[in-house]
């Protein structure tokens, strides 16, 4: 099961390189945090880690897959996770959390799920990751 294509990974590396060139490296602590976030997201998307596989086994052809689009509202996500935990047969499910932003608090919520197989994927071209170039504010716009 591939969620991240080779072309997407290559484009992300190119954009990451352009960001470093345009802004003279990562001298500002915010830029270093941004670089760490980019690296985490790229590595996570590339590895496609399925959490809890050792507890519930590999994904089977008849297992259900639930995709949840996550934004930045951790309180709503917590309610959704608590509700999913009560669903009959949830242990036979892969829950894919697709994130539009990188938020350590939200990541912790997802990583603490113990009732089903879980995978996280991240949108690699967010304004959070590219605030000084497309899709964020580009000084050349």
The DSSP result for 43-99, as a single string, is HHHHHT-EETHHHH-SPPTT-EEEEEEE-S-HHHHHHHHHHHHTSTTGGGEEEEEEE
pLDDT band for 139, please (50, 70, 90 cuts).
confident
pLDDT in tens, 54-85: 999 999 999 999 999 998 899 999 999 999 99
CB proximity list for 44: less than 8 A, separation 6 or greater: 120, 121, 122
73 is in an annotated binding site: yes
72 is in an annotated binding site: yes
68 neighbors 33 (Cβ within 8 angstroms): no
Assess whether pLDDT exceeds 90 at residue 19.
no
71 is in an annotated binding site: yes
30 is in an annotated binding site: no
Tell me, what's the pLDDT at 25?
54
Quote the tokens at residue 49. 């880690």
What is the pTM (predicted TM-score) of this model?
A: 0.73
CA dist., res. 21 & res. 39, Å (int) = 16
22 is in an annotated binding site: no
For residue 99, which phi and psi values (nearest 5 degrees)?
Answer: -100, 135
Tell me, what's the pLDDT at 97?
97
CA dist., res. 141 & res. 133, Å (int) = 9
């Amino acid at each position: 099961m591939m969620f991240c294509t080779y072309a997407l990974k290559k484009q992300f590396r190119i954009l990451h390189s352009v960001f470093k060139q345009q802004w003279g490296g990562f001298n500002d602590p915010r830029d270093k945090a941004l670089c760490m976030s980019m690296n985490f997201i790229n590595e996570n998307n590339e590895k496609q880690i399925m959490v809890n596989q050792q507890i519930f086994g590999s994904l089977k052809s008849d297992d259900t897959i639930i995709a949840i689009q996550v934004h930045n509202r951790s309180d709503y996500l917590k309610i959704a996770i608590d509700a999913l935990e009560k669903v009959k047969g949830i242990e036979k499910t892969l829950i894919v959390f697709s994130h539009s932003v990188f938020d350590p608090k939200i990541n912790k919520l997802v990583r603490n799920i113990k009732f089903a197989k879980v995978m996280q994927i991240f949108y690699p071209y967010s304004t959070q990751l590219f605030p000084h170039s497309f899709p964020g504010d580009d000084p050349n716009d």
